[in-house]
C-alpha cells in the first residue's frame, strides 16, 4: 500500500469517442500503476467531482484513474445544449468504451478496472470491449422505476418525470439543472431517454434487447462488485440488486451504512465526496 506522500501526476487532455472528443483528467503514480481505472461518472456529475477519490486511488492503491466528461456535458460541451442530439445511449455505448480503450492504450500491461457510479455502471453488459475489463465495481448503480422510490422522495421523482420538469425541457430545449434543482444542465435527448427508462418497468432492457442475466456479459470474466448505500433515495439497494441480476451469478453485493464510517449521510452522490473518504477502502480493494 502507498501513502499520501506518493507523487500524483495529473494530465489534462482530450480523447476521441466516435465523432466527439471528450475532456479528461488522468491521475497516475510516477511509476507503473498496479491497475488502470476508468471512472464512469453519474448523470450530471462533472469529472472534477471525482478528483479527490482519483488522487486517493493513486496514493492508497497505486492505481491510475481516468476521469472524464461525457459528450456535450461539462468540459466536453461544444456548442449550445439545445442543439445537442446526444442521448444517454451515446454516453454508455460510445463514450464509456472509448474511455476504456484510451486507458488500455496507455497502460496495456496492467489490469483494466471500471468503477461505474450510477449510470456509469448501468449499461456495461451491453457495451463493446467488455472482454478487456478485469474488474467491475458499480456504486449506487441500478435499474430504477419511479415507483421504486419511497415517499416522500417518490413525489419529487414524479415531478421530475411528469410535472414541471418535462414542460421546462420542452420550452427551453434542454434540462435546466439549476432551475429544477437537479444541479447540472443536460442535453434534451439525454433527459428524454433517461425519463423513458425510469418510467418503464424494465428500464432500457427491451430497447437494448437484453434479458436477465445479460448473455453478452459472459464475454467478460471480470468479477463484479455492486455497492449500495442504505440511505440512497435515488437508487435504493433493491434497485442495485435488480441490476446485479443483469451481470449474472457470482456478483458480490455490499450494502454500506454511513454511520459505520462515522458519517451522518452519504446518499446517492456522496460516496465519492472527500468527506466520505472513510468508506473508500470498502469501495476499492487493494491489489
Q: Report the distance separating Cα 253 and Cα 256, nearest Å.
A: 10
Instruction: Identify the sign of the CA torsion 211, 89, 10, 132.
Output: positive
| Assessment of whether the complete model's pTM goes beyond 0.85 | yes
The residue ranges of every structural domain in the chain are: 8-283
The C-alpha R_g of the chain, in whole angstroms, comes to 18
In this prediction, residue 49 carries a pLDDT of: 98
In this prediction, residue 265 carries a pLDDT of: 98
In this prediction, residue 79 carries a pLDDT of: 93
Residue where the block lists cell 429544477: 180
Q: Helices 164-172 and 188-198, interaxial angle, to 10°? A: 150
Superfamily of domain 8-283: Alpha/Beta hydrolase fold, catalytic domain (3.40.50.1820)
Q: What is the pLDDT along the chain (287 residues), one digit of tens a residue?
A: 444 567 999 999 999 999 999 999 999 999 999 999 999 999 999 999 999 999 999 999 999 999 999 999 999 999 999 999 999 999 999 999 999 999 999 999 999 999 999 999 999 988 999 999 999 999 999 999 999 999 999 999 999 999 999 999 999 999 999 888 888 999 999 999 999 999 999 999 998 888 888 877 878 889 999 999 999 999 999 999 999 999 988 899 999 999 999 999 999 999 999 999 999 999 999 99
Query: How confident is the model over 138-185, as pLDDT tens digits?
Result: 999 999 999 999 999 999 999 999 999 999 999 999 999 988 888 899
Q: In sequence order, which residues have a C-beta less than 8 Å from that of residue 123 and are 6 or more positions away?
A: 89, 92, 93, 96, 204, 208
Amino acid at each position: 500500500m502507498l501513502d499520501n506522500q506518493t507523487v500524483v501526476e495529473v494530465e489534462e487532455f482530450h480523447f476521441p469517442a466516435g465523432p466527439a472528443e471528450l475532456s479528461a483528467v488522468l491521475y497516475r503514480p510516477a511509476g507503473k500503476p498496479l491497475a488502470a481505472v476508468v471512472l464512469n461518472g453519474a448523470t450530471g456529475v462533472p469529472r472534477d467531482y471525482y478528483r479527490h477519490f482519483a488522487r486517493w486511488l493513486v496514493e492508497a492503491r497505486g492505481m491510475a484513474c481516468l476521469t472524464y466528461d461525457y459528450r456535450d456535458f461539462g468540459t466536453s460541451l461544444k456548442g449550445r445544449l439545445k442543439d445537442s442530439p446526444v442521448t444517454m445511449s451515446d454516453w454508455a455505448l460510445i463514450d464509456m468504451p472509448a474511455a476504456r480503450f484510451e486507458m488500455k492504450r496507455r497502460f496495456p500491461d496492467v489490469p483494466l478496472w471500471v468503477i461505474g457510479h450510477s449510470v456509469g455502471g448501468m449499461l456495461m453488459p451491453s457495451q463493446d470491449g467488455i472482454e478487456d475489463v478485469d474488474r467491475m465495481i458499480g456504486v449506487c448503480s441500478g435499474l430504477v422505476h419511479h415507483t421504486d422510490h419511497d415517499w416522500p422522495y417518490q413525489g419529487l421523482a414524479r415531478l421530475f418525470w411528469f410535472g414541471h420538469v418535462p414542460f421546462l425541457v420542452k420550452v427551453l430545449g434542454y434540462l435546466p439543472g439549476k432551475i429544477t434543482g437537479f444541479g447540472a444542465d443536460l442535453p434534451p435527448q439525454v433527459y428524454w431517454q433517461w425519463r423513458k427508462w425510469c418510467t418503464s418497468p424494465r428500464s432500457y432492457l427491451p430497447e437494448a434487447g437484453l434479458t436477465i442475466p445479460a448473455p453478452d456479459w459472459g464475454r467478460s470474466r471480470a468479477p463484479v462488485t455492486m455497492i449500495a448505500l442504505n440511505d440512497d433515495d435515488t437508487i435504493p439497494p433493491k434497485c442495485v440488486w435488480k441490476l446485479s441480476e443483469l451481470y449474472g451469478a457470482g456478483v458480490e453485493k455490499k450494502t454500506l451504512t454511513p454511520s459505520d464510517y462515522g458519517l451522518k449521510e452519504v446518499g446517492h452522490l456522496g460516496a465519492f465526496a472527500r468527506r466520505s473518504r472513510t468508506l473508500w477502502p470498502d469501495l476499492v480493494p487493494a491489489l
